[in-house]
Amino acid sequence: MTYQSVNPNTGKVLKSFEHLNNAELEASLAAAEHGFQSWKKKSYAERAVIVNKAAALLHAHVDDFAKLETIEMGKRIDEARGEVKFSGDIMAYYAEHAEAFLAPTKLHPKVGEAHMESSPLGVLFCVEPWNFPYYQLARVAGPQLMAGNVLVVKHAGCVPQCAMAFERLMIDAGAPVGVYTNLLISHDQCDRVIDDPRIKGVALTGSVSAGRVVAARAGQNLKKSSMELGGSDAFIVLEDANLDQTVPWAVWGRMYNGGQTCCAAKRFIVLDAIADQFLAKFKAALEGLTPGDPMDEKTTHGPLSTEESLVQLLAQVDAAVKGGAKLLMGGKRIDRPGAFMQITILTDIAPGNPAFRDEFFGPVVSFYRVKDEAAAIALANDSDFGLGGSVWTKDEARGKRVASQVDTGMMFVNNINWLDAELPFGGIKDSGYGRELGNMGIQEFVNKKLVRTGHFQAPA
């Protein structure tokens, strides 16, 4: 694969980068292993100095990091600034809480004493996606560095400058050589890294197809892995929903980050009694979004990350229409430079249509009408994915009951606010396994060791 920065607003190539050769890769892995031997011996307080410094640098240079991200992957500048700030918050959160999260846990055996203690595994290999170039890195760097692990990271091919910027951030924060290493490597070299005995765990955020390949390789090597994959989240609107509250969240839920979010609202499941009213308001709100330069704060509809992403999404919409879905609006690219797509609404999507199962990673709405609450829950669960979802109702207790019946890793009642480092993030089914963020996120790649003491009579 090629590491190439292309501005998706203009289509112009910015910079290209060569892969590491195998000798350079070996040097990076050797440095990581050497770095781990000293990093694991540092106290939580010593690690926290560096991780807190990284957080402070992110907060101090929000515009610099954000502008690079906007130029390289097309994220609207205000959203890019928000991502940089949240990434800093995640780093600071783990610097503060890691020691408490990993403190020994006292057990209560019938005889003697026992406790569980946590220790780092070693060098972790992280494969990360382009849609949140800093946040995805902070989600692994914050917890795993504070746990005492070290990271080698293969970032997406279209955001190499963001990848390099994060590595530079860690170096500027004082991270010793080998503690955080960016790898510009090929897919074949990824296999080489996973197979390497110095690698003790593998974390991937990406597509289902990438997850299958990487998880299988890790499994062949009996290495712990976590997978955060795709999603096709249900946005369930019950008949008593407050549409003045619900519609703005529907727009944000589908269009945040240009719709290129694994936990975006993608399947809008609305009860018949309110479907026409919701759809009219939702369509009008989407029509009010204005395409333009993502660096311009007035822009409300930016480009997709790459031309390849646009072409794939257009093909998915065409296949949906050929399969019988109705195109209520959009469906085509916007006639301007860059990877811009019209905001699209598909309705009348039957179970046999490929759109019924597919994930649309961009500004495409799948709209479904259902007769009642039970039908909404059944349709929400009729998915290969199980990442997130939301339910909208004036009755919060009812919303919680519905949320409990939807098979996902995350459900939200009258909001879709996952932007908090305290909240574990992850899914089930084809959306993967394992959790990032919160207390659970730091537990994924540590050894949980039982230590028992006591005086026992030796076996005869």
How many other CB atoms are there within 10 angstroms of residue 101's CB atom? 19
With respect to residue 220, please indicate whether it lies within any of the assigned structural domains: yes
User: Quick check: is 420 in a domain?
Assistant: no
Between the two ends of the chain, the Cα-to-Cα distance in Å is: 63
Give residue 240's pLDDT.
98
Mean pLDDT within 382-400: 98
Q: Is 426 a member of any domain? A: no
- Return the percentage of the chain with pLDDT > 90, whole number: 98
CATH of the domain at 275: 3.40.309.10
Q: Are residues 171 and 304 in the same domain?
A: no
Is residue 7's pLDDT more than 60? yes
Is the same domain home to 225 and 253?
A: no
Among this protein's residues, is 262 annotated catalytic?
yes
Q: Report the domain count for the chain.
A: 2
135-151 confidence digits (pLDDT tens): 999 999 999 999 999 99
> Residue 228 catalytic?
yes
Q: Residue 236: what residue type?
A: I
d(CA 423, CA 215): 24
pLDDT number for residue 254? 98
Helix (H) or strand (E) holding 451: strand 446-453
Are 143 and 252 contained in the same domain? no
One domain for residues 441 and 400: no
Is the predicted pLDDT of residue 389 greater than 80, yes or no?
A: yes
Among 72, 83, 228, 373, which one carries the catalytic annotation? Answer: 228
Place of tokens 């040097």: 27
Same domain, 140 and 259: no
Q: What pLDDT does residue 247 have?
A: 98
- Write the CATH number for 139: 3.40.605.10
238 and 219 in a common domain: no
72 in a structural domain: yes
Q: Does residue 255 sit in the same domain as residue 206?
A: no
* CA dihedral over 309, 228, 193, 20, signed as positive or negative: positive
Q: Say if residues 447 and 240 touch (Cβ distance below 8 Å).
A: no
Domain that residue 49 falls in: 3-229+431-451
Tens digit of each residue's pLDDT (9 = 90 or more) over 199-254: 999 999 999 999 999 999 999 999 999 999 999 999 999 999 999 999 999 999 99
> Catalytic: which of 33, 262, 359, 373?
262
3-state helix, strand and coil shares in percent for the chain, rounded to the nearest 5: 45, 20, 35
User: Cβ(8)–Cβ(305) under 8 Å?
Assistant: yes
- Report whether 168 contacts 92 (CB < 8 A): no
pLDDT score of 438 more than 60? yes
**pLDDT tens digits for 351-385?**
999 999 999 999 999 999 999 999 999 999 999 99
pLDDT value of residue 209: 96
Which of 107, 185, 169, 210 has the alpha carbon at shortest distance from 430? 210
Handedness of CA 202, 191, 175, 56 (dihedral sign): negative
Burial 322-338 (b: 16+ CB within 10 A, else e): eeebebeebbebbeeeb
- Mark whether 311 and 364 lie in a shared domain: yes
Residue 460 falls within a domain, yes or no? no
Q: Is residue 425 part of a domain?
A: no
**pLDDT band, very low/low/confident/very high, at 460 (cuts 50, 70, 90):** confident
Long-range contacts of 32-35 (CB under 8 A, 24+ apart): 32/123, 32/150, 32/151, 32/152, 32/178, 32/179, 32/181, 32/198, 33/122, 33/123, 33/178, 33/198, 34/177, 34/178, 35/150, 35/176, 35/177, 35/178, 35/179
Partnered with residue 180 across adjacent β-strands are 151
Closest CA to 402 of 414, 394, 391, 387: 391
Q: What letter does residue 335 receive in the DSSP assignment?
A: S
pLDDT of residue 179: 98
142 plus 168 within the same structural domain: yes
**167 domain-assigned:** yes
Distance in angstroms (rounded) separating the CA atoms of residues 343 and 330: 5
Average pLDDT, the chain: 97
Q: What pLDDT, on the 0 to 100 scale, is given for residue 1?
A: 55
Same domain, 373 and 401: yes
With cut-offs at 50, 70 and 90, classify the pLDDT of residue 412: very high
pLDDT at site 457: 87
Mean per-residue pLDDT, 258-277: 98
Residues 392 and 438 in one domain: no
Closest C-alpha among 382, 380, 301 to residue 343: 301
Question: Does 247 map to a domain?
Answer: yes
Whether residues 369 and 298 share a domain: the answer is yes
Give, in degrees to the nearest 5, the angle at Cα 175 between 147 and 82. Answer: 80
